[in-house]
Structure 1
Amino acid sequence: MVTLQTQQEQAESVEKLDRQIIVILDFGSQYSELIARRIRETQVYSEVLSYRTTAEQIQEIAPKGIILSGGPSSVYGDRAPHCDPKIWSLGIPILGVCYGMQLMVQQLGGGVEQSERGEYGKASLVIDDPTDLLTNVNDGTTMWMSHGDSVTHLPDGFEVLAHTDNTPSAAIAHHEKKLYGVQFHPEVVHSIGGQALIRNFVYHICNCEPTWTTAAFVEQATREIRAKVGDKRVLLALSGGVDSSTLAFLLHQAIGDKLTCMFIDQGFMRKLEPERLIKLFHEQFHIPVQYVNARDRFLAAIAGVTDPEEKRKRIGHEFISVFEEESKRLGPFDYLAQGTLYPDVIESADTNVDPKTGDRVAVKIKSHHNVGGLPKDLRFKLVEPLRKLFKDEVRRVGTSIGLPDEIIKRHPFPGPGLAIRILGEVTEERLDILRDADLIVRQEINRNGVYNDFWQAFAVLLPIRSVGVMGDQRTYAYPIVLRFVSSEDGMTADWSRAPYDLLETISNRIVNEVKGVNRVVYDITSKPPGTIEWE
């Protein structure tokens, strides 16, 4: 049976990692993992655990520091999530962020109440104490606020480090106990001095050393793969993207011919992609790939399905079914390897479910076929060495083990493929239309030398038709949406200001060359409130 890691398993998995660890207790913020990513940028490992992790479990992990995340609750609410109060006596430096700061204040005897005026968005931070946590953070720097509650009075021993016009206690500290809190979100890119603050906490307060490097990860992952797999065989779900390709190289380096790569052509790939992938791995990488043509059965599995969650789940189940069938032919295999990443786990998991009430603290965004779509009776054991990495970290790992730029710099492509870039029902006709439109997008951004300017750039097909005019004749055809975004890790994203000339060329080519399309529009929505993919 496959389940998400239990609280105890999480603690045990962290214990195996480098001892230079910062632990983040998650209270339901959609951006808790951004804190982890910012810490990793300082070359110190960090991992997110449930807020229910006990003080004893934290002691076993022996982190150098603890960060309490933000969250959507109010600390005085009936069902507000609380951490183990014993953590305040562990002698480990603690930083509370937004809700985490309010919880710290409340549990240590201070006061928190709903503010007359909330504070959302940019705020200028006035620094009262420029030492310790706020060393090298400029007075007046911009920090990102998002709170409706505020601290009314501090616990004994705490003092104010900084304030804003609306928040008298924007940053606080108990220097002797090394307890700190900030009412803003230093992890988001909008907080100009946020990374400096995080570095201060990691290096000056927690006394960490920069041990989280690409080379260290590759060495550790290789060691753990060999220890876990032993003399067993592994089946890899290869898609050709940077994640599964990096995983293929890493596994091949670790276990050699015990690895079998299988590429399942589900019929939702981009134009000419299956042929390109097989040739690349066979001829250039010398890694054998088993090709399985399952286009008809995947299309049949989602025939008539319009709900995006149902679509993803059916595709996920079909993947597993095909793997099981093909593994009997090629196997036996004990392990299934997947290129699951941290953001996949984050967005798929119903994290922090209250065991008494069943209430979710964090909200599931969408299922990923390699996480949320796994059936309970899965026969394989999973090997997911990249599960704790962000996309940019995977790229660095891929570069370090010899993957070419053709793969390393490839834009992320969803596991369900074009099936979730066609809204509503997926048909052969719509797939053909979207493949042709998508090919034009890729050709033009490459021809103009701007491919690497975007995190992702792709086309979406809407299941509606609109009136147009071509050659003095009325048309009734589909619209294509162009979605170009910039991002660092896929957790948040901004729409890209693509050159008008480029957009014009792409639009003209699509309406002239792709039969069934008479309109092209451009998506100017950031994430949040939207997601990068439309489904």
Structure 2
Amino acid sequence: MLTGRRDLVLILDFGSQYTQLIARRIREASVYCEVYRYDLPIERIREIAPRGVILSGGPSSVYGEGAPHISAELFSIGVPILGICYGMQLLSHLLGGKVERGAEGEYGPALVRATRAAGVFGRFKDGDVLDVWMSHGDKVTGLPPGFSTLGTTDTTPFAAIADDERHIYGLQFHPEVAHTRRGKELLEAFLFDVCGLEPTWTPASFVEASVEAIRKKVGPDASAVCGLSGGVDSSVAAILCHRALGDRLVCIFVDNGLLRKGEAEQVVKMFGDHYHLRLVHVQAQKRFLDALSGVTDPEQKRKTIGRVFIEVFEEEAKKIEDCRFLVQGTLYPDVIESVSAKGPSAVIKSHHNVGGLPERMKLGLVEPLRELFKDEVRAVGATMGIPHHLLWRHPFPGPGLAVRCLGPLTEERLNVLREADAIFEEEIREAGLYDKIWQSFCVLLPVRTVGVMGDERTYDEVIALRAVDSKDGMTADWSRIPHEVLARASARIINEVRGVNRVVYDVSSKPPATIEWE
């Protein structure tokens, strides 16, 4: 990461479910920030030299056994500090205040009255009433020396506090969530008015800095290899690295026979013919399908595809002269997850990527997007002129159609799914819904049902349509697609795709269901 830059805000994570959201809100204000575990050594913090520090919320009690703590030395490094929820309780506790278990917790909406317009409340007026979101059981019942009140609720006398001299602030509510209506103003007051930052974190500045950093890391002579799938992340990473390295970047596109209709041709045309990337198109369809023959378990499908992909990729990469680096499309949520105070989340599904390649191939890693959230990746791509239809294409799983073709994988069944999926996408686009839906696709079920076509009895397979609305894929609700659109898609699939005689629509949300069926 590009630590040590002038306009950096440091977030220390105490296990809050909202830590990523804090980072996103700061990035949305065009300020760069990084997330670290709460136990980051003070020497490292001084080395990073942040312009401001935010202490996240968390599920612990400051006086609980094993509760995450920090060194009180943090408050003497001379930069503004904002504690949110647990972060406020912790700074109060460490600086001589009093924290106790509340008679009753506050969870959900609350009203905070601004008692003093200063510091993080500097953009409000005395007496303003703020709709906020509370989530705490403990509360500050006695202020540390030097602190005064900025805001109160009917049950919390110290909902917002400040040490004006040292620029240390505490909020018992969460300004980062949408339920806190004026949370954006509050965070911007901290960033711009208190920390004195400038909104310089922009897609254009990122591209400029990244090109320079990639050139410096790879050097003047070495080559790099990139696994190009045609998805958003690998596409943006490839074009960014191509700007830095030119023909010293070699993109390997593995056609595994599990892609959407026309996708392989689109990738070759876009990246080879249009962007003139040095592209190796490996047609390995038979190799993958042979390896997947008889495999029906979804986890085994993923592992098999991952193993064969690595084999194919490694064989092609060995042919590249002076290849010393591997380009990966790691994003910042993955980085945050790896340093989270909560530890890595439970694995719901294994995902194949090229993560196993560096150890086997002894390659250095280039991860040009590891500082970015998904929306920032798209903004960077747009800055580089990547077309809208590519940047905003619906997510597609790494194992491709293998996890949407339930049951045995054959070329015939995959073609049925491919044709149905193309029709569903056409109808959604025709209805002007594609950019409004987060993800849509077809699933071919290993179920046969009786039907009638003309005067003949049929016994064919079932297609399930799936469309969901989401912001990040962590939670999702099924899309309320107009019935006439579903009717057209169903009629066309049954009439135009041989082997399908029934279409159903999935109305399950995540949780409890997952977005993909496998």
The two structures share one fold, judged by TM-score above 0.5: yes
* Among 476, 483, 490, the residue aligned to 2:467: 483
Confirm or deny that 1:323 pairs with 2:307: no
Contact kept, 8 Å, 1:316 with 1:373, in 2: the verdict is no
Q: Are the structure 2 counterparts of residues 256 and 290 from structure 1 closer, same or farther at C-alpha, using a change threshold of 3 Å?
A: same
Contact 2:10 2:36 in 1 (8 A): yes
CA positional deviation for 1:200: 0.8
Corresponding residue of 1:239: 229
Q: Distance in 2 between matches of 1:427 and 1:121?
A: 51
The letter of the residue matching 2:229 is: S
Structure 2 residue 375 is the aligned partner of structure 1 residue 392? yes
Question: Do the aligned residues in 2 keep the contact of 1:72 with 1:361 (CA within 8 Å)?
Answer: no
| Residue aligning to 2:112 | 125
Shift of the 103–503 alpha-carbon distance from structure 1 to 2, 3 Å rule, reads farther
Are 1:449 and 2:436 counterparts?
Answer: no
SS at match of 1:125: strand
Name the CA distance, whole Å, in 2 between partners of 1:213 and 1:457: 30
Corresponding letter in the other structure for 1:306: D
* Identity within the alignment, %: 51
- What is aligned with 1:149? 138
Q: How does 1:373-452 map to 2 (within 5 A)?
A: 376-421=359-404, 431-452=414-435
Paired AA for residue 304 in structure 1: V
- Deviation string for 1:27-58 (max 9, x for gaps)? 22343222122111111111111222111111
Distance in 2 (alpha carbons) for counterparts of 1:114 and 1:315: 52
| Alignment of structure 1 residues 51-450 onto 2, 5 Å | 51-136=38-123, 139-165=128-154, 167-230=156-219, 231-299=221-289, 304=295, 306=297, 308=299, 312=302, 315-346=305-336, 349=338, 351-352=339-340, 360-361=342-343, 363-364=345-346, 368-370=351-353, 376-421=359-404, 431-450=414-433
Counterparts in 2 of 1:529 and 1:197: CA distance versus 1, 3 Å: farther
Query: Equivalents in 2 of 1:236, 1:217: separation in Å?
Result: 20
Decide whether aligned partners of structure 1 residues 485 and 157 sit closer, same or farther in structure 2, where only a CA change above 3 A counts: same
Q: CA RMSD in A?
A: 3.2
Write the deviation string for residues 245-286 of structure 1: whole angstroms up to 9, x where unpaired.
222221221111101111012233212211221122222222
Secondary structure of the equivalent of 2:319?
helix
1:28 corresponds to 2:15: yes
Q: Which residue number corresponds to residue 506 of structure 1? A: 489
Cα shift at 1:221: 0.3
> How far is 1:500 from its partner?
3.7
Q: TM-score of the superposition, structure 1-length normalised? A: 0.84
**SS at 1:80 equivalent:** coil
- The 1:469–1:222 alpha-carbon spacing in structure 2 relative to 1, beyond 3 Å, is same
Task: Specify whether residues 534 and 103 from structure 1 end up closer, same or farther in structure 2 by C-alpha distance, changes over 3 A only.
Answer: farther
Sort the Cα spacing of 1:150 and 1:256 in 2 relative to 1 into closer, same or farther, 3 A. Answer: same
Structure 1, 362-371 or 259-268: larger mean CA deviation? 362-371
Matched with 1:3 is none
- Does structure 1 retain, via aligned residues, the 8 Å contact 2:427–2:485? yes
TM-score (norm 2): 0.87
Question: Do the aligned partners of residues 176 and 248 (structure 1) sit closer, same or farther apart at CA in structure 2, a change above 3 Å counting?
Answer: same
> Match for 2:268: what amino acid?
I
Q: Where do 5+ consecutive residues of structure 2 fail to align? A: none
Change (3 A) 1:97 1:407: same
The more displaced of 138-147 and 243-252 is 138-147
Question: Aligned pair in 2 of structure 1 residues 21, 508: CA closer, same or farther (>3 Å)?
Answer: same
Larger Rg: 2
Return the alpha-carbon distance in structure 2 between the equivalents of residues 201 and 164 of structure 1: 21
Cα shift at 1:111: 3.5
Q: Alpha-carbon deviation of 1:364?
A: 4.3
Matched residue, 1:4: none
Q: Does 1:459 align with 2:442?
A: yes
Consecutive unaligned residues in structure 1, runs of 5 or more: 1-9, 354-359
| 2:502 maps to amino acid | N
Paired with 1:221 and 1:410, the residues of 2 have a C-alpha distance of 24
- 1:63-118 Cα offsets, whole Å, 9 max, x none, are 11011122333333322222233212212111122222222222223343444433
Q: How far does the alpha carbon of each residue in 1:123-166 deviate from its partner, in whole angstroms, 9 at most, with x for none?
A: 33333333321234584443233333333433233333233455
